[in-house]
Amino acid sequence: MSLDPSFVGRTYPPTAPYQVGREKIREFATAIGATDPAHHDPAAARALGHPDVVAPPTFPIVLTMAASRQIVDDPALGVDYRRVVHGDQRFAYTRPVVAGDELVCVNTIEEITTRSGHGFLTTRTDVTTVAGEPVVAVWSKLVVRGES
């Protein structure tokens, strides 16, 4: 089943709020080898002008990956997740993610193309605070491998 191009431009409902915890940031930073004290020590983060520890730049993948289930699980779109490989990821920040943030995600399908029998799905996830303050936009490209 190929991806349905009529989905381009479709926006999904906001996700439930995600509470960014200090320990989650520390765990993520440790897992990826991010040793900057601002990721681990509230005093170091405050010395840089942040209210609490600052998440590493790729931290939003924790919530955007879960939010992408809205798209992947939409049966009408035609994503066979068994055939998916990750193609690309990028982040455009308005401000850093910090412990104490309460964030929501809104997913939009930006592009669907087919090349050499493979489907390419580009999504944008806008991450904001529950009050609507923009934090980061995250783009992801998934490749849905065609039948061999």
Given a cut of 80, whether residue 18 has pLDDT beyond it is yes
Percentage of the chain modeled with pLDDT above 90: 89
**pLDDT for residue 148:** 67
More confident residue, 75 or 138: 138
Mean pLDDT for the chain overall: 95
Rounded Cα distance, 103 and 105, in Å = 7
**pLDDT for residue 81:** 86
More confident residue, 39 or 2: 39
Domain ranges of the chain: 5-21+55-144
Given a cut of 70, whether residue 30 has pLDDT beyond it is yes
Mean predicted confidence (pLDDT) in 49-77: 95
Flag the least confident range among 45-49, 50-54, 114-118. Answer: 114-118
Longest CA pairwise span in the chain (Å) = 55
Given a cut of 80, whether residue 48 has pLDDT beyond it is yes
Are the C-beta atoms of 87 and 122 separated by less than 8 Å?
no
C-beta pairs of 4-11 under 8 Å, 24+ apart in sequence: 4/76, 4/77, 4/78, 4/112, 5/112, 7/74, 7/76, 7/77, 7/109, 7/112, 8/109, 8/110, 8/111, 8/112, 9/108, 9/109, 9/110, 10/108, 10/109, 11/106, 11/107, 11/108
State pLDDT tens for residues 66-107: 999 999 999 899 888 888 999 999 999 999 999 999 999 999
Mean predicted confidence (pLDDT) in 129-133: 98
Q: Which fold has domain 5-21+55-144?
A: Thiol Ester Dehydrase; Chain A (3.10.129)
User: Residue 78: left (phi > 0), alpha (psi -120 to 50), or beta?
Assistant: left
Mean predicted confidence (pLDDT) in 33-55: 98
Rounded Cα distance, 68 and 12, in Å = 10
Given a cut of 90, whether residue 147 has pLDDT beyond it is no
Mean predicted confidence (pLDDT) in 115-140: 96
